[in-house]
Amino acid sequence: MQAPKTKPVLVIGGPTASGKSGLALAAAEAFGGTIINADSMQVYAELSILTARPSAADEARAPHRLFGILPASEACSAARWQGLAVAEMEAAWCQGRLPILTGGTGFYIRALTEGLSEIPPVPAEVRAEVQELRAEIGEAAFHARLADVDAVAGRRLPPGDRQRVLRAFEVYLATGRTLTDWHAGAPVTPVPGARYLTIVLDPPRQVLNAASDARFDAMMAAGALDEAAALKALHLDPALPAMKALGVPELIAHLAGELPLAEAIAAAKRATRQFAKRQQSWFRNQIEPETRVDAQYSESLQQEIFPKIREFLLTTQN
């Protein structure tokens, strides 16, 4: 008796500037794929240059989904992205295409492949109450309140991570259970029958650092400062995720007269290198890919990677 058919998904992860987008595009062309964004910042419409979103030329070569779909005034959660990604995966399968998820937001990828714990929605009045409490007692005292009820979240989340600290406290207030307890529960798998091939690009640190510096220079040449100025003009809450995208705080500080441009660029590059280091650590310790490539993507790697994708697709057809 033959095993039932499964739904193939190619996942390409890794730190910023590792070449994920290039590999995803090459794989989409070779295997009839639809590229689905798994980067928490590339979802925002106003951040095309500063998040290195695929160009119009790239999008003409293969279908791209979930890029630039939300305004910077909104916050995208893992659960929201998960729902959008599942819908795009289903659409790709219906069209006979291979969903290719690519991005550096490891938690998004894990939310899809392993599932999220099903947490009840928080009522609007509870959310408002929590926001008022934080405004009244201040960032440090509010974080201490969270640590009192959820020590794990208190250690894991810094006081300045406004969105996630608020989320952790409002879940506790609304449900009587900590976010840590909810996450410890059995996760809800969003796509029964899906089968994943995960490839992680993990280049040497010095290669990654050089690539991220060069990419930021290219962003500046492409108009990153103008993009930051347009975002600044929206007068959004600085705590929104889009306002914390790599390069945004530093360039906005320059536009506000707080930093010379050269210092802002240097600070943005430094923040990017530090972020890439954290991403690398996450992908090394929190996920077990079928294939890990210790190099930045180049066309020569197709000889190593593509046969594994081809074999994976053959096994899902049986």
Kindly report, as residue ranges, where domains of CATH 3.40.50.300 are found in the chain.
Answer: 7-116+187-316
Residue 1 scores a pLDDT above 60: no
| This prediction's pTM | 0.82
Task: Taking residues 12-29, report their average pLDDT.
Answer: 96
pLDDT band at 5 (very low <50, low <70, confident <90, very high): low
Query: CA-CA distance, 260 to 152, in Å (whole number)?
Result: 39
CB 111 within 8 A of CB 82: yes
Work out the end-to-end distance of the chain between its first and last CA atoms, rounded to an integer number of angstroms.
Answer: 11
In this structure, what token pair is assigned to residue 263?
């210092």
pLDDT band at 4 (very low <50, low <70, confident <90, very high): very low
Q: What is the sign of the dihedral through the CA atoms of 174, 180, 181 and 186?
A: positive
What is the structure's pLDDT at 123?
A: 86
Condensed to tens digits (0 to 9), the pLDDT of residues 217-266 reads: 999 999 999 999 999 999 999 889 999 999 999 999 999 999 999 999 99
Contacts for 274 with CB less than 8 Å, ≥ 6 apart: none
Pick the CATH number of 124-184 from 3.30.565.10, 3.90.340.10, 1.10.10.10, 1.10.20.140: 1.10.20.140
CB 65 within 8 A of CB 37: yes
Query: CA-CA distance, 117 to 121, in Å (whole number)?
Result: 12
Task: Taking residues 207-217, report their average pLDDT.
Answer: 96
Residue 12 scores a pLDDT above 50: yes
pLDDT band at 187 (very low <50, low <70, confident <90, very high): low
Task: Taking residues 20-32, report their average pLDDT.
Answer: 97
Condensed to tens digits (0 to 9), the pLDDT of residues 110-124 reads: 888 888 777 778 888
The residue among 27, 6, 34, 25 whose CA lies nearest residue 307 is: 27
Task: Taking residues 146-170, report their average pLDDT.
Answer: 89
**CATH topology assigned to domain 7-116+187-316:** Rossmann fold (3.40.50)
Residue 99 scores a pLDDT above 60: yes
Residue 201 scores a pLDDT above 60: yes
CB 44 within 8 A of CB 71: yes
Q: Which helix (H) or strand (E) holds 199?
A: strand 194-201
Query: CA-CA distance, 47 to 22, in Å (whole number)?
Result: 19
Residue 14 scores a pLDDT above 90: yes
Contacts for 136 with CB less than 8 Å, ≥ 6 apart: none
Kindly report, as residue ranges, where domains of CATH 1.10.20.140 are found in the chain.
Answer: 124-184
